[in-house]
Each structure stands twice: as structure tokens, then as C-alpha cells.
Amino acid sequence: MATAVERFDEKARHAFERIGRTEVYLGELLRHPVYTRFLHWMVALFFFLALFSGFGVYLPWLFRWFTPLFGGGPLARQLHPWFGLFFVFFFGLQTLNWIRPMAWTKADTNWMRNIKGVVSGEDKLEPPDTGFFNAGQKAMFWEIVVGCVLYLITGIILWAGARTFGRWPVAISYILHDISALIMLGGIFIHIYLSTIGEPGTFQAMTRGSVSESWAWTFHPKWYKEVTGRDPRQAYEEALQKRKD
């Protein structure tokens, strides 16, 4: 199964590299190829389309101003499940794309134990065993995986309605669907903050596909060492010395 996934993912990467390209300049490292960036923005697009249409349909007393964006309430109601299906579909492809680097390790458990130092900024560099993704990113990824499964199950029940599944499954599905959406929305807000203000230089990874070496040794030192063969702490100290000179 893993081999089949890897073959599919590799073919997709090559196909998209023929369509677009990623330019990496001096002092930068390749972070995300075209295929990964495409999946990321498709996931983001359909998440917000599903979110806004869902808010307009299920909370019209508060978000009725969303429904005109989708042609009115009835059309928004028809489009919402399709937006959700596309969101799950593209995130499913992203899951295949990231299944290996998102595997939980002992280093991630240690990262979580030291989360106070990471969040407070006391530590200038991430722990030296932080690889391509840190534990926070992995936790969010797996939360979305669980959320997608929950969306799919509850969404089908809500789509088919009480005539097919009965009143209680529909009522429970409404609650689980909404709670999952709110949890995921909270995670998305954190993600947006960290990819812009919280960790400057991160946003470039999903627009141009590359990051600066200083970003790499700061936030993902183990990955930096794997790619360059250089010690991240030494690279950091050399950069500090150059600034002083």
C-alpha cells in the first residue's frame, strides 16, 4: 500500500512540476514543490467555501449576509455539501502527500513537553531534533484528518436527512459537524498567525515554495541539517557573528 501511495504521489509531483516551477535562489532551500502548494491552496479554498456557506445556511440569524455570496440561501444549501466533499478530497490527497513526514516521533513528544519555551520565544531555535514538521503542525494535521472523517460521516447523514437515517442520528450529526468545524476553524486561525506574523518567512513556503536558510535552521533544524549537511546551531552562531561584524 505504501509503495502504491508513493508511486501515485511521485507521479503527481512530476506532472505538476511540468506545469509550473519552483525557483530557489542563493541562500534558500526548496520547501514545498508545486503539487504540494496546489493541494494546500485547494484545501484552503474549499474549507472556507464550505465554512462560509455552512454558516449562512445553519446560522442565518447571525450570518445571513454570507448567503448572497453563493446566490442565496437555497443555492448555498445545495453547494455546501459539494464544497465539503472537495475539501475532504483535496485534503485526502494532501494526506497521501504528507503521510510519512507527519508520522509522530519521540522528538514530537519532547517538543510538546517543551511547548511553553517554544511559544514564549525563550528558545531562539526550535529543538535540534525538529524535522520537516514540528509537533504542533503534526497535531493540527491529524486533527484535520479526524475532522475530515467526521465531516464525511455526519455530512452524508445530514445530506440524506431524517427520512434515511432517522431524527436522532441527524440531530447528533448537526452537533458533531458544528463542533468539528469550530475546532478546525480555531486551528486555522493559529495556522494563519504562525504562517505570517508568528514565524516570518513561512508564508513564502506556500507561495514560492522556498524558504531562507535562516528560517530553516531556526524552525526546523533537523531538516536543515538533513538537506545541507551543516550544523544548524553553528550556522545560527555564524549568522549572528556576521551581523555583529
Residues forming a β-bridge with 30: 210
Whether pLDDT at 1 is above 60: no
Which secondary-structure segment (H or E) carries 210? strand 210-212
pLDDT at 62: 73
Q: What pTM, to 2 d.p., does this model score?
A: 0.89
Closest CA to 217 of 205, 235, 243: 235
pLDDT at 122: 66
Give the tens place of pLDDT for each residue, 30-87: 999 999 999 999 999 999 999 999 888 877 777 778 888 888 888 988 999 999 999 9
Give the tens place of pLDDT for each residue, 188-215: 999 999 898 888 899 999 999 999 999 9
- pLDDT band of residue 219 (cuts 50, 70, 90) is very high
pLDDT at 240: 83
pLDDT greater at residue 8 or residue 228: 228
Residues with Cβ < 8 Å from 176, sequence gap 6 or more?
A: 150, 154
- pLDDT band of residue 2 (cuts 50, 70, 90) is low
pLDDT-above-90 percentage for the chain: 60
Q: Are the CB atoms for 69 and 54 separated by under 8 Å?
A: no
* Average of per-residue pLDDT values in the chain: 89
Closest CA to 88 of 222, 7, 180, 173: 180
